């Protein structure tokens, strides 16, 4: 049997996973299960695999902080670091430190949460990948292992981009430039883990590409397990994300085209986007989502009432943190730049005097029209459009990949070759029939990225564009008419330093080979008001 690391950052994993009774029946009491034991019990293996998306939606796994809402919490953290989300300055805002650039160093619990969450998610994938025996692997479990490889690739890709140190005008540490994360693989021993330096970007890219090649091979021409399990199309979608990070735009375009072809998915219609009952909360209501996570009434996240993404994402609710006033709003300047003829502008409550007809949940429309602040995000609707019963309203699915992302990847790759046709055709066909383009060169690339910002507000993919393309995307929250509160009003020149995340100090204490990023906290001055 292969060794699985069981120290430091993984000590609490087994309890957190809460593996089902069928797993318990399969594993011997005195040790680990063999491949023969696992493959002989397909249900047990499937239950082990379900631990991956289950953990992705697991609430409150570490400090008990109410920002701990599983993977949607990571999404929120990334969005808080960007330009396009403004928040209400109230006492209920648990994500405020990431918006204000405070407490971001290696010694703070906020960084510990991110690092521990991701490493534990990786370990859930490693527990499945451990049963890969190459040509000797049972055919019946190949798609399961392929899904695990794809998930690990997704997690490594997130972590690599988040922790990669890129030069900026505010912090400096030449010895960590281009470094990402240690190699957190399924064979890692304790001795290796205690001497596990951060990988250069180039090495991590190759490791992720190898995982995706396995995912493609193991899921090819095999039935999809579920919408929560990556298939071949999703693996190609992840490969497209990887090649964008690698800045190999031809390879990214080819992978995105393959992902679209294999998925059979189509972009959301206006009716699907603006639906007050199923808008951005249901895998089954449309053909756009390539990968998503689902919750049920029995999900721990739902039962809490507050530790779920509906609590934080769905403004039209009486329950959760939105019900207490912790709304996500669009940045005012960003919103003003969206065409009124683009139906995506209906993702936010229109300001007073607007002529936009923005659909809101009918039963409570008057209340929220009166009480929601201008530009409050209503893109994400509570489950079934239920605003007050959290057992229904919090039962909301969450997208991990939509086919539209592949289209925008292709559009950017084409724009880098001076071709605006792909963006023009996509926008005219799917988003704004009157859309037109009057820019070229670098302005065309910026236009693609702007439309992508409109498309994926609060979905967690934009952080990676901001970090990859600071020449086109930066932070400008200080301006006349800003709706950001004062301690989050930053105007950053180039890359924002807080996008180079710090690894928690407990990890570097256990692993002396790990050299950390500098603390970015409060390194950017506030806007002067001029």
Identify whether residues 169 and 303 lie together within a single domain. no
Give the model's pLDDT for residue 90. 75
Angle (deg, nearest 10), helices 442-455 and 403-415: 170
Q: Are residues 204 and 307 in the same domain?
A: no
Supply the mean pLDDT for the chain.
91
**Does one domain contain both 300 and 219?**
no
Contacts of 194-201 spanning 24+ positions with Cβ under 8 A: 194/510, 194/511, 194/512, 194/513, 195/511, 195/512, 195/513, 196/511, 196/513, 196/514, 197/513, 197/514, 197/515, 198/163, 198/514, 198/515, 199/160, 201/160, 201/164
Q: Do 204 and 350 share a domain, yes or no?
A: no
Top pLDDT among 47 and 413 is at 413
Same domain, 186 and 316: no
| Range in 19-23, 232-236, 364-368 the model is least confident about | 19-23
Query: Where do the H-state alpha helices sit in 353-478?
Result: 365-371, 390-393, 403-415, 421-430, 442-455, 462-468
Instruction: Please provide residue 192's backbone torsions phi and psi, each rounded to the nearest 5 degrees.
Output: -65, -40
pLDDT at 20: 28
**Position 502 in a domain:** yes
Alpha-carbon span 479 to 127, nearest angstrom: 49
Alpha carbons within 13 A on the beta-carbon side of 364 = 17
Which pLDDT belongs to residue 62? 66
* Local structure of residue 136 (DSSP, 8 states): G
- How many domains does the structure of the chain reveal? 2
Task: Judge whether 251 lies within some domain.
Answer: no
Arithmetic mean of pLDDT, 294-300:
91
Q: Is 489 a member of any domain?
A: yes
Residues 119 and 200 in one domain: yes
Residue of 425, 406, 71 lying closest to 264 (CA atoms): 406
Give the separation between CA 227 and CA 202, rounded to whole angstroms. 31
- Residues 491, 388 within the same domain: no
Q: Write out pLDDT tens, residues 311-358.
A: 999 999 999 999 999 999 999 999 999 999 999 999 999 999 999 999
User: In angstroms, rounded to a whole number, what is the distance separating the alpha carbons of residues 131 and 34?
Assistant: 8
353-395 pLDDT, tens digit per residue, is 999 999 999 877 788 888 899 999 999 999 999 999 999 999 9
154 within a domain of the structure (yes/no): yes
Pair 300, 217 in one domain: no
Domain containing 172: what range? 8-223+479-510
Q: Which long-range contacts (CB under 8 A, 24 or more apart) does 429-434 make?
A: 430/267, 430/268, 430/269, 430/404, 431/342, 431/343, 431/344, 431/455, 432/339, 432/341, 432/342, 432/343, 433/341, 434/339, 434/341
Residue with tokens 């009124």: 340
DSSP letter, residue 199: P
| Of 461, 3, 154, 287, nearest in space to 146 by CA | 154
Q: SS3 of 499, please?
A: helix
pLDDT tens profile 147-166: 999 999 999 999 999 999 99
* pLDDT for the residue 60: 72
For 459-487, what is the mean pLDDT?
97
At residue 41, the pLDDT reads 62
Give the mean pLDDT of 128-142.
91
Structure tokens at 144: 């399961």
Q: Are residues 390 and 498 in the same domain?
A: no
Question: With helix as H, strand as E and coil as C, how does 67-98 read?
Answer: CCCCHHHHHHHHHHCCCCEEECCCCCCCCHHH
- The answer on 337 and 218 residing in a single domain is no
Q: pLDDT-based confidence at 40, cuts 50/70/90?
A: low
**pTM exceeding 0.85:** yes
SS3 call for 505: helix
Distance CA 438, CA 444 (A): 8
What average pLDDT does the segment 276-286 reach? 96
């Amino acid at each position: 049997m292969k060794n699985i690391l069981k120290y430091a950052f993984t000590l609490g994993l087994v309890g957190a996973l809460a593996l089902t009774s069928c797993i318990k029946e399969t594993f011997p009491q005195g040790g680990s299960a063999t491949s023969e034991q696992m493959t002989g019990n397909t249900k047990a293996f499937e239950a082990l695999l379900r631990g991956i998306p289950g953990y992705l939606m697991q609430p409150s796994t570490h400090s008990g902080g109410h920002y701990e809402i599983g993977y949607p919490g990571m999404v929120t953290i990334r969005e808080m670091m960007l330009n396009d989300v403004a928040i209400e300055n109230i006492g209920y805002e648990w994500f405020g430190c990431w918006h204000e650039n405070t407490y971001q160093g290696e010694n703070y619990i906020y960084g510990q949460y991110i690092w521990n969450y991701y490493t534990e998610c990786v370990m859930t994938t490693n527990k499945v990948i451990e049963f890969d025996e190459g040509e000797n692997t049972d055919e019946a479990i190949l798609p399961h292992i392929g899904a695990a490889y794809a998930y690990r690739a997704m997690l490594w890709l997130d972590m690599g981009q988040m922790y990669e140190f890129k030069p900026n005008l505010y912090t400096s540490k030449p010895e960590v430039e281009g470094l990402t994360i240690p190699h957190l693989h399924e064979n890692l021993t304790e001795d290796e883990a205690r001497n596990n330096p951060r990988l250069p970007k180039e090495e991590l890219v190759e490791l992720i590409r190898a995982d995706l090649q396995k995912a493609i091979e193991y899921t090819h021409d095999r039935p999809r397990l579920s919408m929560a399990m990556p298939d071949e199309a999703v693996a190609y979608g992840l490969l497209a994300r990887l090649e964008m990070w690698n800045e190999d735009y031809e390879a990214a375009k080819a992978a995105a085209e393959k992902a679209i072809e294999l998925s059979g998915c189509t972009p959301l219609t206006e009716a699907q986007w603006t639906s007050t009952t199923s808008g951005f909360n249901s895998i089954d209501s449309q053909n756009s989502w390539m990968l998503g996570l689902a919750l049920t009434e029995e999900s721990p996240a739902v039962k809490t009432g507050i530790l779920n993404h509906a609590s934080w994402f769905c403004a039209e609710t009486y329950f959760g943190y939105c019900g207490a006033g912790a709304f996500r709003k669009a940045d005012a300047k960003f919103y003003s730049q969206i065409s009124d003829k683009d139906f995506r502008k209906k993702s936010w409550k229109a300001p007073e005097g607007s002529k936009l007809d923005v659909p809101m949940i009918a039963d409570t429309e008057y209340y929220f029209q009166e009480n929601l602040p201008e530009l409050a995000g209503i893109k994400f609707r509570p489950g079934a459009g239920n605003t007050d019963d959290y057992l229904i309203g919090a039962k909301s699915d969450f997208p991990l990949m939509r086919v539209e992302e592949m289209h925008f990847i292709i559009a950017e790759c084409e724009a880098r070759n001076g071709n605006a046709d792909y963006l023009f055709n996509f926008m005219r066909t799917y988003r704004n029939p009157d859309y037109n383009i009057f820019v070229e060169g670098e302005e065309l690339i910026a236009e693609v990225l702007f439309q992508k910002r409109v498309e994926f507000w609060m979905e967690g993919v934009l952080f990676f564009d901001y970090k990859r393309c600071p020449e086109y995307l930066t932070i400008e929250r200080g301006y006349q008419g800003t709706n950001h509160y004062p301690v989050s009003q930053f105007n950053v020149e180039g890359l924002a330093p807080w996008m180079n995340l710090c690894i928690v100090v407990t990890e570097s204490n256990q692993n002396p080979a790990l050299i950390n990023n500098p603390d970015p906290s409060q390194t950017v001055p506030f806007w002067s008001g001029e």
